[in-house]
């Protein structure tokens, strides 16, 4: 008996030793072929750069060709465009109808699934990249600096839109879902603080040169340009002017210059472009082109308010807007639609158009406004006329009158922004709100109510997060 016990004990001890030493290793499986773990992604500069490219790609990407517009791929242009006075809808059955009528339900699918959700998804991705780069032993110090700066740029850009569309919002800065799932709304000022911090970091750590042959990844000037915009929104006129100047003069005309031909402004070859976002994958170049360009009745016609705002001889009215005449039941009607991008869908493998995220004319207009606010009226007019001069090619050029007062000049700048930046990244909607003109301008719309200036926080999230509060005027 005893001898058996010894055998059993020995066998048992042996088996346990064997399994304990072998098993931990044994149940570690190799990575799946179609997935990579964080650890592997951030092993080298090149793979980490793929993750950063993914951030830009996600901003404009979509999961399928026919799925709804997502993030900056069109939802912002359209939702903000119809919410303001730039765009109208040709059919009340359109998914943006609640935006157009300024009566968005808190369970609106586009609001939740195409704006709120994808934007927070990109923010998660930026947080994942920032966290992982910080921990990564494999990525070089210069690589870390460059990539973290790009990720922070993308995070700032996304928070910029969220805070402007929704007001006080939750601000996840980590990847811990347990923490993030119960985050409360925090005041917009705190969101802006993060945006400024991120953009300053980006500006300090990005190089002036672009990576790659096109302007698809943020450089120092892209960060400065977005920073200039944020300072403008924050009414920090001095900084807005300084940063705009940094962009306009810092790189020189060899890098950034207005494209004299308006039809080339939005091409990938445009020298005016500070940052473009490229639609990954499909043969669709921009969602803007896909959504706006039509051969019949366009889905998103330009509003009369915008169409009738152009000065005489403004070439933008003909270059950037196209008109279709459609005859229904013997009655002909003209439909005007945005034509900044010329292609509805791509035609070949060489992409000629990508969505413009930041371009030089906005920077001139930022500086003009910042200077006007500081009562530097002559310089402000000079900047304004740089933009006007390209669009209005009459001789002599009708320069902005030097006697225009500060308020008058600000109105002219606001008008110039309307006709220059229409249907680009929701500028009109955000401008009306930040300048306090929204109620005045939009009360012409039938259902306008002041609370419509903020979009509702999606009910789906409020249902799942007890600390999340709805914006006033929504249930």
Partner 1 sequence: MNFYTLNRLLLAMKLTTILVFAVILQTSAAGYAQRLTLHTKNAPLEHVFKTISKQSGYDFVYNDFDLRGLKVSSLQLNNVSLENGLQACLDGQDLSYVIKDKTIIIKRKEKSLFSKLSDLIGLAGPIKGVVIDENGHGLPGAAIRIKGGQRISNTNNDGEFTINVPEGTILEISYIGYKIQEAVVTKSTTKLSISLSPDISKLDEISVEGYRKGSQRLATSNISKISGDELMKQPVSNPMQALEGRIPGMVVSQVSGVPGARLNVQIRGRANFDKNLTSDQPLFILDGVPMAAGNDKVNLIGGPFGPGTTDGLSAFAGINTADIESIDVLKDADATAIYGSRGANGVILITTRKGKAGKMRLNANVTSGVSTVTRMAKMLNTEQYIAMRKEAFANDKITPTNSNAYDLKLWDNNRYTDFTDLLVGNNAHTNDAQLTLSGGSKSTQYRIGGAYHKEGTVWPGDMSSDRGSFNLNIHNTSQDERFTMDLSALYGTNQSNLTALDLAAAVVLPPNFKLYDENGKLAWNEGNLYIQKDNPLATLNQVYLSKMSNINANLVLNYKLLKNLDIRSSFGYNMTQNDEKRLTPLSAQNPMASNLSGFSSFGNNQLKNWIIEPQAEYKGNIGKGKLNVLLGGTFNQRSTAGLVVNAKGYTSDELIGSLSGASSTGITASNTASVYRYQAVFGRINYNWEDKYIVNFTGRRDGSSRFGPDYRFSNFGAIGAAWVFSNEAPLKDSKVLSYGKLRGSYGSTGNDQIGEYQYLDAWVTAGNYADSATLYPKKLYNPDLHWERNKKLEIGLELGFFKDRILFTGSVYQNISSDPLVSYGLPKITGFSTIVRNLDGVEVQNRGLELTVTSYNFRKGPFTWTTDFNFTLPQNKLKKYPDLEKSTYFNTYAIGQSLNRIFAAQFTGVDPATGLYTVKDVNGDNQATTADYGVIGSLDPTFYGGISNNFSYKRFNLSFFLQFTKQLGRDWRTNNLYNPPGSAFNVPELALSRWQNPGDITDVQKFTTTQGAIYGTAGFYPYSFSSGAYTDASYIRLRNVYLSYDIPVKWLSVVHINSCKFYVQGQNLFVISGYKGGDPETQNYTRMSPLRTITGGLQLTL
Tell whether residue 1 is a contact of partner 1 (CB under 8 A). Answer: yes
203 binds partner 1 (CB under 8 A): no
Interface pick for partner 1 out of 26, 312, 330, 402 (rule CB under 8 A) = 26
- Of 74, 420, 53, the closest CA to residue 272 belongs to 420
Q: Would you give the DSSP letter of residue 32?
A: P
State the minimum distance, in angstroms, from the CB of residue 7 to partner 1. 6
Among the listed ranges 13-21, 231-239, 299-307, 405-413, the one in contact with partner 1 (CB under 8 A) is: 13-21
Q: How far apart are the C-alpha atoms of 91 and 111, rounded to whole Å? A: 19
212 or 403: CB nearest partner 1: 212
Residue 12 in the binding site for partner 1 (CB under 8 A)? yes
Phi, psi of 459 (to 5 degrees): -60, -35
Tell me the CA end-to-end span of the chain in Å, nearest whole number. 78
Cα angle 299, 421, 244; round to 5 = 155
Nearer to partner 1, 36 or 103 (CB): 36
Comparing C-alpha atoms, which of 68, 85, 72, 51 is closest to residue 160? 72
Question: Which of 72, 96, 100, 116 is the binder for partner 1 (CB under 8 A)?
Answer: 116
Q: Does 408 bind partner 1 (CB under 8 A)?
A: no
Q: Which residues contact 76 (CB under 8 A, 6 or more apart)?
A: 115, 161, 425, 426
Output the CA–CA distances (angstroms, integers) from residue 126 to 132, 174, 175, in the order listed.
Answer: 10, 9, 9
Q: Does 255 bind partner 1 (CB under 8 A)?
A: no
Q: Which of 290, 161, 271, 150 is nearest to 215 (CA)?
A: 271
Give 171 or 366: the residue with its C-beta nearer to partner 1.
171
Q: Taking the complex as a whole, how short is the minimal distance between the CB of residue 324 and partner 1, in angstroms?
A: 24
Eight-state DSSP code of residue 208: S
The verdict on 24 binding partner 1 (CB under 8 A) reads: yes
Can you tell me which of 2, 29, 137, 403 binds partner 1, judged by CB under 8 A? 29
- Taking the C-alpha atoms of residue 170 and residue 408, their distance in angstroms, rounded to an integer, is 38
How many residues sit in the footprint of partner 1 (CB under 8 A)?
Answer: 76
Number of C-alpha atoms within 13 angstroms, CB side, residue 459?
A: 8
- Would you count residue 407 as binding partner 1 (CB under 8 A)? no
CB contact at 8 A, 400 and 385: yes
* Binding residue (CB under 8 A) for partner 1 from 281, 405, 472, 473: 281
Helices marked H in 206-350 — which ranges?
220-233, 237-250, 287-292, 304-307, 316-319
Among 211, 297, 386, 410, binds partner 1 (CB under 8 A): 211
Burial of 138 (0-12, 13-18, 19+ CB in 10 A): middle
Decide whether 23 or 193 has the Cβ nearer to partner 1. 23
| Max CA distance (Å), the chain | 116
Residue closer to partner 1, measured from CB, 210 or 231: 210
For partner 1, which stretch binds (CB under 8 A), given 274-282, 331-339, 372-380, 439-447?
274-282
Cα-based angle 206, 258, 221 (whole degrees, multiple of 5): 10
The CA distance from 27 to 81, in Å, is 54
Comparing CB distances to partner 1, the nearer of 127 and 361 is 127
Interface residue with partner 1 among 21, 105, 207, 282 (CB under 8 A) is 282
Mark the segment that binds partner 1 (CB under 8 A) among 167-175, 302-310, 376-384, 394-402: 167-175
* Residue 109 near partner 1 by CB under 8 A: no
Q: Among 21, 22, 207, 375, which residue sits at the site for partner 1 (rule: CB under 8 A)?
A: 22
Window of 119-127, 144-152, 229-237, 432-440 that interacts with partner 1 by CB under 8 A: 119-127
Enumerate the β-bridge partners of residue 322.
337
Instruction: In angstroms, give the least distance from the CB of 163 to partner 1.
Output: 13
Q: Compute how many other C-beta atoms are within 10 angstroms of the C-beta atom of residue 99.
A: 27
Is residue 413 a contact partner of residue 365, using CB atoms and an 8 Å limit? yes
Question: Minimal distance in Å, beta carbon 151 to partner 1?
Answer: 12
| For partner 1, the closer CB: 138 or 408 | 138
Does 61 engage in binding with partner 1 (CB under 8 A)? yes
Q: Which stretch binds partner 1 (CB under 8 A): 135-143, 214-222, 297-305, 418-426?
A: 214-222
How many residues does this entry show for the chain?
475
Kindly state the smallest distance separating residue 243's Cβ from partner 1, in Å.
25
Residue among 30 and 252 whose Cβ is closer to partner 1: 30
Query: Is 7 among the residues that bind partner 1 (CB under 8 A)?
Result: yes
| 3-class SS of residue 334 | strand
Instruction: Please give the residues from 445 up to 474 whose contact with partner 1 meets the rule CB under 8 A.
Output: 458, 460-466, 468
**Is residue 183 at the binding interface for partner 1, with CB under 8 A as the rule?**
yes
Residues of span 37-56 touching partner 1 by CB under 8 A: 37-38, 41, 47, 49-51, 53-56
């Amino acid at each position: 008996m005893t001898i058996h016990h010894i055998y059993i004990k020995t066998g048992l001890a042996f088996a346990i030793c064997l399994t304990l030493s072998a098993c931990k290793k044994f149940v570690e499986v190799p990575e799946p072929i179609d997935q990579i773990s964080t650890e592997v992604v951030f092993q080298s500069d090149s793979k980490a750069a793929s993750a950063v490219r993914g951030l830009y790609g996600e901003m404009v990407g979509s999961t399928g060709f026919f799925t709804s517009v997502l993030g900056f791929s069109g939802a912002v242009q359209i939702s903000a465009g119809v919410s303001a006075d730039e765009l109208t809808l040709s059919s009340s059955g359109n998914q943006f109808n609640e935006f157009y009528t300024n009566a968005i339900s808190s369970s609106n699918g586009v609001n939740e699934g195409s704006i709120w959700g994808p934007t927070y998804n990109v923010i998660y991705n930026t947080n994942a990249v920032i966290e992982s780069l910080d921990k990564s032993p494999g990525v070089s110090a210069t690589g870390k600096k460059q990539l973290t700066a790009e990720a922070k740029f993308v995070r700032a850009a996304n928070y910029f839109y969220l805070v402007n569309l929704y007001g006080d919002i939750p601000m996840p800065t980590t990847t811990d879902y347990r923490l993030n799932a119960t985050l409360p709304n925090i005041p917009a000022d705190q969101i802006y603080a993060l945006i400024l911090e991120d953009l300053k970091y980006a500006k300090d750590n990005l190089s002036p040169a672009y990576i790659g042959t096109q302007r698809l990844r943020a450089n120092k000037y892209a960060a400065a340009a977005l920073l200039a915009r944020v300072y403008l929104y924050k009414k920090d006129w001095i900084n807005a002017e300084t940063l705009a100047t940094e962009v306009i003069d810092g790189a020189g005309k060899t890098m950034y210059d207005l494209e004299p031909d308006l039809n080339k402004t939005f091409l990938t070859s445009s020298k005016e472009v500070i940052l473009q976002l490229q639609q990954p994958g499909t043969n669709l170049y921009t969602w803007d082109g896909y959504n706006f360009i039509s051969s019949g009745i366009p889905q998103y016609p330009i509003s009369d308010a915008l169409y009738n705002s152009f000065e005489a001889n403004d070439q933008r009215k003909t270059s950037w807007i196209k008109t279709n005449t459609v005859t229904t039941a013997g009655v002909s009607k003209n439909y005007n639609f945005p034509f900044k991008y010329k292609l509805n869908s791509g035609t070949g493998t060489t992409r000629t158009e990508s969505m413009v995220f930041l371009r030089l004319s906005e920077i001139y207009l930022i500086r003009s406004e910042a200077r006007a606010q500081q009562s530097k009226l002559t310089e402000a007019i000079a900047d304004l006329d740089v933009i006007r001069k390209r669009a209005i090619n009459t001789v002599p050029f009708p320069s902005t009158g030097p006697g225009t007062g500060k308020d008058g000049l600000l109105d002219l700048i606001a008008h110039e922004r309307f006709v220059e930046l229409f249907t680009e990244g929701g500028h009109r909607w955000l401008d009306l709100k930040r300048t306090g003109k929204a109620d005045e301008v939009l009360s012409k719309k039938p259902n306008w109510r002041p609370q419509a200036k903020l979009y509702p926080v999606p009910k789906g999230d409020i249902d799942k997060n007890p600390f999340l509060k709805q914006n006033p005027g929504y249930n």
